[in-house]
Amino acid sequence: MGTNPLVQFALQPILIFGVVFHFVMGFVLELKNKKANGVKYAKNNGAANSTWVSRNMIWSGVAILAFVVLHFIDFWFPEINTKFVQGDWSGLHEGVDGYRYFHELEHKFHSHIRTIAYVIAFIFLMLHLLHGFTSAFQSMGATAGRKKTLQNIGKAYSIIIPLGFIVIALYHHLKYVLS
């Protein structure tokens, strides 16, 4: 993907726009929800009609935003520097057999703190997706008669994808620590 022009020039900007739009709209929605009910309840038992994850989407979103900043610092900014400042589009790493991407990935997970930060971020991503996947379809009115199926697909997706990234981070970290 690092050397594919379709990914680099078409899909990457769309993805970045989508993520920024999602964050901005999430914060706007949170503010509108807080303003919509000007009267505070005498007693609020949020757990009676919503999950912890749904009540804390803003906080899991903030944690994911912090992770995105870390991820950009670790991978995207160096990639932009290599390609657009240094002019190296080869993907190769001088003096290292193979592509630089794998070498950079291995190197980033040497740190205990960075590995823990990535694992925690992916757990927050898992929680965020667990609520957000089905909720998005519900907001679009696409759950009629399919809610249970969409919930099951959403649960599988929300667990498998972040878990895969956790395995990658832990694998490279443990490989370094145990070597």
Distance (Å, whole) CA 116 – CA 99: 26
Domain encompassing residue 25: 1-39
Mean pLDDT of 148-163: 90
Mean pLDDT of 29-39: 78
What is the pLDDT at residue 75?
A: 83
Looking at the structure, tell me whether residues 21 and 90 fall in a common domain: no
Looking at the structure, tell me whether residues 101 and 32 fall in a common domain: no
Sign, Cα dihedral of 18, 19, 22, 27: negative
Domain assignment of residue 44, yes or no = no
Task: Dump pLDDT digits (tens) for 78-108.
Answer: 888 887 788 877 777 666 666 677 788 888 9
- Banded pLDDT at 110 (limits 50, 70, 90): very high
Looking at the structure, tell me whether residues 149 and 107 fall in a common domain: yes
Mean pLDDT of 32-42: 71
More confident residue, 39 or 57: 57
Looking at the structure, tell me whether residues 81 and 113 fall in a common domain: yes
Percentage of the residues of the chain whose pLDDT score is greater than 90 = 28
- Sorted by sequence, the CB contacts under 8 Å of residue 169 that are 6+ apart come out as 109, 115, 118, 119, 122
Looking at the structure, tell me whether residues 149 and 102 fall in a common domain: yes
Q: Which helix (H) or strand (E) holds 154?
A: helix 147-177
- Banded pLDDT at 175 (limits 50, 70, 90): very high
Q: Please tell me the total count of domains within the chain.
A: 2
Mean pLDDT of 130-137: 82
What is the pLDDT at residue 158?
A: 92
What is the pLDDT at residue 35?
A: 82
What is the pLDDT at residue 105?
A: 84
Distance (Å, whole) CA 172 – CA 169: 6
- Banded pLDDT at 170 (limits 50, 70, 90): very high
Distance (Å, whole) CA 4 – CA 133: 29
